[in-house]
Amino acid sequence: MTDDKKLKELLSKAYRNKTFTERDRAAVFAKIKEREEEDMHTRSRKRPGSVWQHLVPVALTFVLLLGVGIFTFSSAKNLWFEQNQASPSIQQQGPNNENTQANEAEPKVDPNPNSDNEPNKVPDQEQRKEDTEKGTDSKQTEGYTSLEALLKDVETYLNTDIPFVKPTNLPKGEKTYYTAAYDNKPDGYSVIIYQTDHPVLINDRSLNNVGEDSQLVTLRGEKYESAEAAQQEVGYQEVQKQDHAIDLGYGLWGMQDAGAGHKFFNWNEGRWYLGMQAQTQNQIDLPGKAKEMVEFLENNTLPIPNQFARFSVAYENNDVTNSAFWQEGQIVYEVEPNTKDPVDALRIVTSITENR
């Protein structure tokens, strides 16, 4: 356009000085106009290419910067999330925070009835810390005079899928306090309830040194692979009536037998099999004891099993063992009262039906 302007000026001067004729001037200006139109057409065709040549680098730069920004934000977010996932601090149980863990018990409880009485292991330190947070520190410090309060805290500590069955009737004699030692796993638990004359923490190591007289009852629950396996563990038997059956009253009867240096007495009540045994030289009257048990059960109900259950009494020398087993599908519950009187043992077992 600069050259054209100069040409126009020269032509104007030439025209004013009469250098060119009017026809020459018109022809020159027509030629100039034609050149201008060609220039405009050329620029209009080149403009799109010129625009894209500038836009493409800009767009690529923007995409690159956006990707870098997203990556930086994601990395910062992940770093913040990891830093804020630290485990919360957990306080120890009881008032003596530094010494409480050292006093935890290794209760001699068998969590698995089939484990040949392998000693129970206390939950590891981290697990016990978590358990402690769930309990009631004041109760642990002051001691448990209430069986209900003790069993409530024990149930809180248990980390198992098996329901915890709890007796509601558990006399503790002249001693003032209850306490407990427990062990558990996902498919079972074992709990011993103690009586003490002073407050003792749950799972305190000192419980390893107390005598068996301080044990009130052992409670177990275990899940088996199948209902058939659970039923086999229970050991239910159907007693066959014979001519020498002994009348127990209330329409019940029992069978007496002997062999291998022992004498036996067995009967059925509903889905329960009740069996007693003693050494032959033992003068214990098994039918007489059976009648006392039948009399008690006339007004007190044993847990209702699904399918079967067993209550056994074993007199061995000066020791007496009472045990109750009942099935709930794949689960077998066991209650072993520490008493020499079968009726007292039944009193504890029948109290469980009120709290299941």
How does strand 272-279 pair with strand 309-316? parallel
Global confidence as pTM:
0.64
The domain spans of the chain are: 2-83, 101-219, 230-354
**Percent of the residues in the chain that have a pLDDT greater than 90, as a whole number:** 53
18-60 residue pLDDT tens: 445 556 556 555 666 666 666 666 555 544 444 555 555 556 6
- Cβ 97 vs Cβ 91: under 8 Å: yes
Helices (H), the chain: 2-16, 22-83, 125-134, 137-142, 147-157, 227-234, 286-297, 342-351
Average of per-residue pLDDT across 272-298 = 97
Rounded CA-CA distance 108/130 in Å is: 22
pLDDT tens for 146-170 read 999 999 999 999 999 999 999 999 9
Closest Cα to residue 126, out of 92, 84, 161? 92
- Residue 332: pLDDT band (50, 70, 90) is very high
C-alpha 322/C-alpha 274 separation (Å) is 11
pLDDT, residue 193, reads 97
Residues whose CB falls within 8 Å of the CB of residue 215, separated by 6 or more in sequence, listed in order: 192, 193, 194, 338
Please list, in sequence order, all residues whose beta carbon lies within 8 angstroms of the beta carbon of residue 285, skipping any fewer than 6 positions away.
Answer: none
User: How high is the pLDDT of residue 226?
Assistant: 96
pLDDT of residue 211: 86
Residue labelled with tokens 């159907």: 238
How, if at all, do strands 319-328 and 309-316 pair? antiparallel
Give the per-residue pLDDT at 73. Answer: 54
The DSSP string of 232-295 is: HHHT---PPP-TT-EEEETTEEEEEEEETTEEEEEEEETTEEEEEEEETT----HHHHHHHHHH
Instruction: Name the 3-class secondary structure at 301.
Output: coil
Residue with tokens 């409670």: 219
Confidence of residue 176 (pLDDT cuts 50, 70, 90): confident
Q: Averaging pLDDT over each range in 1-5, 44-48, 316-320, which range is the top one?
A: 316-320
Q: 278, 284, 285, 288: which is closest to 247 by C-alpha?
A: 288
Which residue did the predictor score with more confidence, 85 or 287?
287
Q: What is the pLDDT of residues 208-237, one digit of tens each?
A: 998 888 999 999 999 999 999 999 999 999
Phi, psi (deg, nearest 5) at residue 55: -70, -40
Which range among 71-75, 129-133, 352-356 shows the weakest confidence by mean pLDDT? 129-133
Q: Which residues are paired to 312 by β-bridges?
A: 275, 323
| HSE-CB for 178 with a 13 A CA cutoff | 22
Question: Can you give the pLDDT at residue 330?
Answer: 97
What secondary structure letter does DSSP report for 92? P
Contact of 353 with 304, CB cutoff 8 Å: yes
Q: What is the pLDDT of residue 185?
A: 87
